[in-house]
């Protein structure tokens, strides 16, 4: 390999400092912006090092396909994270090394979340969207919390067949607490990038050992609760034949090995991962949608006109209307494109060295798909920083076939929840548009304020707190009507 490395060049990239590598070149709270600037100088594949860690950044969809999909036997691992076991996050399917255990997790997810199977859960998603409206109707100033509760209750419903309480549900609170502790101990988002970007995750190398140990113990304990309590609830109901259809019941019913201890660990781990991977992503996408609606009132109005024309005002929309609402579809695509919640996806990792277009990519290299650069590619999406759903229509007025699949990553590690997530986000968006108007907040003089939210840092990017004036738009709308309306 060494001989090959000498003969071949790494992909182009900025010259780094010894030891530090390119740390000082990178915007550490939004590294995808720096990587995106590098496209102009270095092209579609960039190499850099950070604290000795070799990193390749893929900047375009064709290269992502060529490497992460066509050569998925090399590019499907995740970077090893030293502290995983210590903090108790070894259950997380999204961080598992490429191998048998990961394969079993994927099979379990697949059973419930592959395209046809995910359709079984459309009624759950519709019901939760109605509850979302109810919540916002009752306390519009807490709309962001209701969006988070929609995202968590829809997952709890399909994974555990567990109905969350409208307020302060003990299992949701336990899960949120566990994630909060994990985030604190691992950094502001997941621990996946810890090895590659310790500085990004604000986990200083001088982090006092004793504090880390204490927090690690706390994290382990709270994660244990998050993993075991809902799992036991669901398993007991399956055993007593009182559970409805859910990921746990399907897996226990359909996997021949379901009695074994190893299977039980995989099942409860993948179930908890669904919460970790599916809640913040879904909620963040919806908050970004709200931001877009505030900033682009003409888009909001056009989508609402479409809904009024097709659905009318006497009922709420449902999945049966989806194909008749192309503009709403374009709004969903544009939301995924305009601000991908995972701007760098999740890091991949090479298990073998490779050569691509004459460039050497070493074994043990972190490979990032820069989804931000892909979605801001001016050649494909002109005026890419603006929110323009019209870009998804062909000249004949039909929707084109670009569904922004890039937002869900590539290859064998592609998001397993993507069909389900797409349905959750769609049903929430169409309900929110039907029932409410989203307007900029007012200042003390009654003038509209430009929203300028603070953004989260880490793997997932979303507005931390987004003030918004949410106003009902259905006349005579009341809680009872929303609860009872059926399609
Ligand atoms: C809008 C919502 C969502 C977005 C934008 C999203 C996006 C992503 C992305 C970019 C990845 C990394 C793919 C890669 O490595 O190339 C990922 C992985 C993953 N997602 Fe999602 N996701 C969403 C919702 C969900 C939901 C609802 C679930 C579960 C039901 C889920 C489960 C997972 C899992 C388990 C992985 C790790 C897969 C693996 O490592 O094999 N996601 N997601």
Report the pLDDT value the prediction gives residue 176, as an integer from 0 to 100.
86
Cα–Cα distances (Å) from 209 to 167, 203, 212, 261, 319, in that order, read 37, 12, 5, 34, 52
Annotated binding residues for heme? 415
What CA–CA distance (Å, rounded) separates 136 from 161?
Answer: 24
Q: What is the overall mean pLDDT for the chain?
A: 88
**Weakest-pLDDT range from 82-91, 150-159, 365-374:** 82-91
Kindly state if the Cβ of 278 falls inside 6 Å of ligand 1: yes
Give me the mean pLDDT over the 462-470 stretch. 94
Q: Which residue has the higher pLDDT, 226 or 282?
A: 282
Give me the mean pLDDT over the 363-388 stretch. 96
Report the pLDDT value the prediction gives residue 20, as an integer from 0 to 100.
63
Kindly state if the Cβ of 346 falls inside 6 Å of ligand 1: yes
What CA–CA distance (Å, rounded) separates 199 from 197?
Answer: 5
**Weakest-pLDDT range from 37-46, 76-85, 288-297, 428-437:** 76-85
| Phi, psi values for residue 15, rounded to 5° | -70, 130
Q: Which of 383, 423, 392, 464 is nearest to 188 (CA)?
A: 464
How confident is the model over 279-322, as pLDDT tens digits? 999 999 999 999 999 999 999 999 999 999 999 988 999 999 99
Kindly give the distance from the C-alpha atom of residue 37 to the centroid of ligand 1, in angstroms, as a whole number. 26
pLDDT above 70 covers a percentage of the chain that reads 87
| Token pair in block for residue 101 | 């255990």
Ligand 1 atom with the shortest distance to the CA of 159 = 30
How confident is the model over 207-218, as pLDDT tens digits? 445 566 677 777
Query: Which of 1-10, 243-252, 475-484 is modeled with the greatest confidence?
Result: 243-252
Global ipTM: 0.99
Kindly state if the Cβ of 274 falls inside 6 Å of ligand 1: yes
| Token pair in block for residue 462 | 């979303």
Kindly state if the Cβ of 279 falls inside 6 Å of ligand 1: no
Cα–Cα distances (Å) from 472 to 117, 299, 410, in that order, read 34, 18, 39
Report the pLDDT value the prediction gives residue 57, as an integer from 0 to 100.
96
Kindly give the distance from the C-alpha atom of residue 475 to the centroid of ligand 1, in angstroms, as a whole number. 38
Residue 440 has pLDDT above 60, yes or no: yes
Going by pLDDT thresholds of 50, 70 and 90, the confidence category of residue 484 is low
Report the pLDDT value the prediction gives residue 30, as an integer from 0 to 100.
83
Q: Which residue has the higher pLDDT, 31 or 10?
A: 10
Going by pLDDT thresholds of 50, 70 and 90, the confidence category of residue 230 is very high
Residue 242 has pLDDT above 80, yes or no: yes
Kindly state if the Cβ of 421 falls inside 6 Å of ligand 1: yes
How confident is the model over 148-178, as pLDDT tens digits? 999 999 999 999 999 998 888 888 888 888 8
Residue 204 has pLDDT above 80, yes or no: no
């Amino acid at each position: 390999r060494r001989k090959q490395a000498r003969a071949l060049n790494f992909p182009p990239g900025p010259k780094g400092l010894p030891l530090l590598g390119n740390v000082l070149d990178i915007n550490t709270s939004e590294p995808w912006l720096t990587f995106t600037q590098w496209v102009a100088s270095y092209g579609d594949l960039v190499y850099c090092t950070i604290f000795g860690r070799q990193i390749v950044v893929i900047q375009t969809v064709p290269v992502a396909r060529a490497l992460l999909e066509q050569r998925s036997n090399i590019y499907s691992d995740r970077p090893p994270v030293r502290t995983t076991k210590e903090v108790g996050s070894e259950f997380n399917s999204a961080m598992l090394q490429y191998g048998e255990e990961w394969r079993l997790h994927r099979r379990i997810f697949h059973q419930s979340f592959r395209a046809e199977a995910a359709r079984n859960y459309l009624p759950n998603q519709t019901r939760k969207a109605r509850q979302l409206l109810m919540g916002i109707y009752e306390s519009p100033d807490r709309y962001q919390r209701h969006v988070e509760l929609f995202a968590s209750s829809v997952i709890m419903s399909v994974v555990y067949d567990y109905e969350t309480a409208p307020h302060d549900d003990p299992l949701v609170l336990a899960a949120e607490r566990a994630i909060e502790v994990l985030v604190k101990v691992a950094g502001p988002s997941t621990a996946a990038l810890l090895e590659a970007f310790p500085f990004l995750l604000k986990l200083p190398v001088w982090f006092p050992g004793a504090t880390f140990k204490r927090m690690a113990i706390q994290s382990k304990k709270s994660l244990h609760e998050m993993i075991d309590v809902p799992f036991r609830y669901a398993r007991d109901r399956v055993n007593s034949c009182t559970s409805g259809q859910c990921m746990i019941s399907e897996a226990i019913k359909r996997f021949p090995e379901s009695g074994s201890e190893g299977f039980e660990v995989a099942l409860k781990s993948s179930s908890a991962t669904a919460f970790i991977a599916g809640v913040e992503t879904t909620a963040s996408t919806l908050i970004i949608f709200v931001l877009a609606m505030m900033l682009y009132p003409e888009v909001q109005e056009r989508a609402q006109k479409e809904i009024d024309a097709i659905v009318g005002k006497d009922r709420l929309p449902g999945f049966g209307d989806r194909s008749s609402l192309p503009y709403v579809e374009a709004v969903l695509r544009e939301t995924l494109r305009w601000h991908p919640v995972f701007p760098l996806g999740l890091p991949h990792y090479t298990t073998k060295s490779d050569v691509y277009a004459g460039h050497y990519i070493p074994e043990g290299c972190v490979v990032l798909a820069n989804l931000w650069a892909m979605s801001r590619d001016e050649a494909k999406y002109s005026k890419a920083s603006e929110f323009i759903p019209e870009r998804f229509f062909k000249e004949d007025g039909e929707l084109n076939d670009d569904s922004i699949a890039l937002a869900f990553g590539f290859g064998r590690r592609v998001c397993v929840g993507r069909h389900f997530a797409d349905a959750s986000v769609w049903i929430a968006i169409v309900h929110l548009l039907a029932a409410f108007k989203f307007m900029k907040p007012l200042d003390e003089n009654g003038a509209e304020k430009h929203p300028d939210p603070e953004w989260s840092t880490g793997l997932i990017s979303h507005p931390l707190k987004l003030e918004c004036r949410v106003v009902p738009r259905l006349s005579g709308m009341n809680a009872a009507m929303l609860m009872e309306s059926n399609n």
